[in-house]
Structures are given as C-alpha cells and as structure tokens.
Structure 1
C-alpha cells in the first residue's frame, strides 16, 4: 500500500456474543490447517436455519480494559478472547473472569490478523521502515498450536517473489498528456509496490486465508506453510469532482475523470455459501470526502473469481 495510512475495522463492543461451537480436534500437528472437516461442511453448518439463531445484541459488557490499540480479535469456541494490540505490539488472551495474559510478547511490531480454530490461534506481525505507513521490512503469519508451539510463515518473502498486484496500475485512467503533466507527482501512475501487511486471517480445515492489505490480495497458506494467491482485489475507481480537485489541489482538467485507488483488503470471512467475503478500506483520505469507497467482495475460493 502506498502513500496512505489505514486503520482497522475490528473495533467492536457487544454483549451476549454467541460463538458456534466446533468439533474438538486431535493433537495439533497440522501446521496452518486442520484435518477432519471441509470448508463446505463448515459452511453448511453455519447456513441460516441450520444451527443457532443469529445473536441478538444485549447490554454491552466490558471484558478487558487498558488495551493499547485492540484493533483485531477473535473468540474461540470456549469463549476465550484473543486480542491483537497494534500499538503495544503483542497478543493477549482473555479467559472469561480472568485478567489478560500475554501469549505473544511485544516486539515493537504491528499485530493483526487474529483468528482461531480448534484450539489454535493465528496472528500476523509486521515491522515497517517508517511506522505503520512505510513498506514492510518484516511480515510474518504466526500460529500457536494447542501444544504451545509457534510456527511462522514469511509473507514478505512471498510478496517479494510474486508481488500479486505488481502489474496493476493505480492512477488516473484517461487523462490526455497535457493534463497528466499537471498532476502532482504523488498522484502519478504507479504499479503495486512490494509490501505486505496481513490484516485479517481465517483459519479453516487444511488452509488459512489472509487478507493482505499491503499486497492488495487474498492469500492462501496451506498445511505445509506454502503461500499462494487466491485473488488480487480490483482497483477502486473514484470520479474526481470539482470539490475533490479543489480540496487536494488538483488541476481543473481532472474533474470528471476517474482515479484508481488501491483496494486495501482488511478482513476475510467464510460465508454460509462456502465463498469468502473480503472487506476493503481503499487508499486515500479516510474522512469520507471521496464518498463511500469501502466494499465487501465475494470471492470464489476455488477459482479466485
């Protein structure tokens, strides 16, 4: 992701949170995936009308306090809460009725992409050159199994080798040369940079999916730790109005033209139909001045469509 700072979408306070129970697994020996169930079986189990009714919001209840940037979290089948503290750079576990327990010590890195499945917890850590807005110097997906053993996958190494959005151009799409010459350098055309920021993850049998905000892609990590690209999220076109042009100092000739923003995927979840649902927080101002540019994409996990 280039030139913009983004924030998480996982700030939530809700009482009476219901979590569907999942079958217990055998010893945790399966890397970044588990045997014993399929994505289709899980999706069918969560289909509306089969199993628990959707939760109803109750009175808010505080379960943990004094956290530093709790921007990503998950709740396992036993009601244990795992929280990634982005500003403290650590992962804590909150067992109902007990104080938070640190299970991934602070290392000065950004913690995100927390998810749980069958007794394991996955998260990411990222270190950047210039705070959280610089390109990554480290980007790892980590997993703590039921036995306490932590394994790690180097997402930045995959990004450097594959750069899934490396051929995608983010820019104005149809300016004539004279107008393009007047556009500020920071808005000149560029292609996807080498960057990785795993912001959301989803653990399923045999596979972990990752919404990588830096790569602008949905990734897949198999049981052996091999990383591959499921889908590259499309650029987000924004039509420049006179108000937008005036606010950020663009020449009048760009009014009415579209600028393609980076999509910046932030989370991934499994739908009841077996497809993956990916949220985005596109690059650019986050004050609403560009209009409603965030989206949720439906992605076929088998074809990437």
Structure 2
C-alpha cells in the first residue's frame, strides 16, 4: 500500500522534523581527509572503532581505511560494480552488479579479511518477483496528436510498466535482516537467512511537464501541461529511531536539476509496508544518515552539498562537498565521500572526508 501525505516533512522521532530545499546558510564543519585516490566512491560504512569501508564502485573494489593510517582492498570483483556497503559487528555487507548480456546482482558479506560469501541472488529474485512490474510509468495527459509527434525511439517510454532490472545500490543491517535499496528495481528488499522478500516499492514521482522540461526530455512543445510519472529510484535506506525505514529517492531520468528539485525522502512502516513521501524539493539525494536523536544528514550528489536537519529546527547546509556520494554519522562526526565523478578516470581523486561541526 502506498500513500502520499505532507511533502517536505520527515518524521523521524516523536515529533515532526522538516527537511526541504537548499535555502539556508551553511552551519560550518571542519573537514579531515581519511583517504584519497579512490575511483567513484559512492558508498561507505563506518565501524564502531572508526574503521571506514568504502566502495570504489566503478572499479569493482571494496577498500578498508584504517585502523590508523592503514589501507587495504578487501574485495575485487572484476567486471562488476561494488557498492551498498554497511557494517555490523565487524561483518561488512556489500552488493555487486553486472550489466550487459549476462546481468547479475548479489548480496555479499566479508569478515575478518576472509573470503567473500554470497548471501543472496538479487538478480534471481528480480527475475522471479519484479516488485514494480505492475507499476505504470510514463507520460499522462498527452493527447493523441501530440503523441504522434514524439520521436519513435521515445514512444515506448510514454507508457510502460516496471521492467525486470536490478541495480542494488545501498544496504542497511538491522538485527538479522539486511535491507537493500534496489535502484533499478525501484524497491526496498529484505534479506533474512538468505531469503529475499519485498518490503515495498516506491511510487512513481509525478512531475508536471513545462515547456523547458519537455525540451530536456526530448518531447515536443505540445507535451506542456501533461504529467511525467517517473520511476521512484531508491538510493539509500536507513532505519530511524522510530524503528521504520527511511529512503532517499531520485526520479528516473535526468538526475540533476534540469528537471527541477524532484528528489525526496520516503518513510516505510515496517509493520504495514505503507510508503509515505515525507520530504520533497531535493536535488539528487543519494545518501542518508540518521542519528539516535532524529538528526538527519542528506548528501545531494549534483547539488554538491550535505544538508543537516536537527530536531524541530530549520534545515541548513552542513557542508559543501563536490559531488558527495554516501554519508554516515558516527559519534557526532559525519563521514562523506567526495566522488570525483567529473574527474580524470586515469587519475582517481575520490576521497573520504570526516566532517566535525564547528564549535558554536
């Protein structure tokens, strides 16, 4: 069951916590570099002792930074993307994805420098279940004559249902269950004892098509006034202090600000599977961290900022970081990846930063 209520309100604790937009001054933070020379670090996790595990997604490498100044690669998955890192009780959880003619997606764990262990076949589950298979996407409200003006190669995208496709992007471990945000399956999955199930699928993101947006989408000007039902793409999943899941999401299609600020945060009630969109007006939210007091941090990839939302206070820009990927909160310190997406792939410059709020 899916329902929509007040946009731009994210309930993380006993009261309401607002989270919307970028119109706020930076609160200030001091940055310390934990590691550099990384290839597209889009996901990270931090253990209780401060050890950082970071995925070099496009290189297919999972790297450990620390303890101290040590660094080593734990996993190398040649020809695959590595991501979705989390850590619990010393066990590192991650996902792999292979595109192309032989797609694959799987959930793995690695512990104490041992060999990786496959926990679940996520691609197999997508083929079997296709959680968003009954969800309709595309353009609504465009008349027939206008549809005939759409380029032939774009017409299949005017109306379609969720396809069989998997790209696990983030994980969160709670108890004996690992929750997986599948960015291609548009769903949140639960893996318990190797068994995969669907927690929820995200609803389509409704975007009013303006003349400018029609141009961005490659649609004729007559599409103005119709509605684009974009795929709801989950990019991170965390458990809030209320025991429910919170998910950052961006709409399928252009992920930067060309289509407007259409990203958001969803709340998923674990008891019922109900999905509520609580936060809107965000640009490419890809990482989420939630403290025990309900303080939330959201990294916005193409906005190049990390937002902070303290309980019952207005949101602020916590830090400006070029293309921030994932974000984690440990002992009052914020860890964030600088992805270097626009850098030279031959000279990787991705970093992990530890941000400490400035005093006062």
- Kept after mapping to 1: 8 A contact 2:93/2:108: yes
Residues 175 and 300 of structure 1, relative CA distance in 2, 3 Å threshold: same
Report the counterpart of residue 78 of structure 2 in structure 1. 107
CA separation in 1, counterparts of 2:49 and 2:216?
A: 50
Report the counterpart of residue 211 of structure 1 in structure 2. 181
| Matching of residue 244 in structure 1 with residue 217 in structure 2 | no
Secondary structure (helix, strand or coil) at the match of 1:102 reads strand
| Matching of residue 285 in structure 1 with residue 260 in structure 2 | no
TM-score by length of 1: 0.76
Shift of 1:59: 2.1
CA separation in 2, counterparts of 1:155 and 1:61?
A: 36
Report the counterpart of residue 292 of structure 2 in structure 1. none
Aligned counterpart for 1:269 among listed residues 229, 238, 249: 238
CA separation in 2, counterparts of 1:269 and 1:57?
A: 24
| Matching of residue 140 in structure 1 with residue 106 in structure 2 | yes
Report the counterpart of residue 139 of structure 2 in structure 1. 172
Aligned counterpart for 1:181 among listed residues 148, 170, 183: 148
CA separation in 1, counterparts of 2:41 and 2:216?
A: 33
| Matching of residue 122 in structure 1 with residue 89 in structure 2 | no
CA separation in 2, counterparts of 1:217 and 1:247?
A: 26
CA separation in 1, counterparts of 2:218 and 2:112?
A: 54
Shift of 1:197: 0.8
Runs of 4+ aligned structure 1 residues displaced above 6 Å come to none
Report the counterpart of residue 61 of structure 1 in structure 2. 32
CA separation in 2, counterparts of 1:293 and 1:145?
A: 38
Shift of 1:247: 4.2
- Kept after mapping to 2: 8 A contact 1:90/1:111: yes
Q: Structure 1 or 2: larger strand share?
A: 2
Superposition map of 1:83-98 within 5 A: 83-98=54-69
Residues 247 and 213 of structure 1, relative CA distance in 2, 3 Å threshold: closer
Shift of 1:301: 1.5
Question: 5+ residue gaps in structure 2?
Answer: 1-11, 18-26, 275-360
Give the length in aligned residue pairs: 247
Question: 5+ residue gaps in structure 1?
Answer: 1-42, 49-55, 131-135
Report the counterpart of residue 159 of structure 1 in structure 2. 126
CA separation in 2, counterparts of 1:154 and 1:191?
A: 23
CA separation in 1, counterparts of 2:86 and 2:111?
A: 12
- Kept after mapping to 1: 8 A contact 2:75/2:116: no
Report the counterpart of residue 235 of structure 1 in structure 2. 204
CA separation in 1, counterparts of 2:217 and 2:77?
A: 38
- Kept after mapping to 2: 8 A contact 1:128/1:138: yes
* 1:224-251 alpha-carbon deviations (Å, 9 max, x no partner): 1000000000001111111222344422
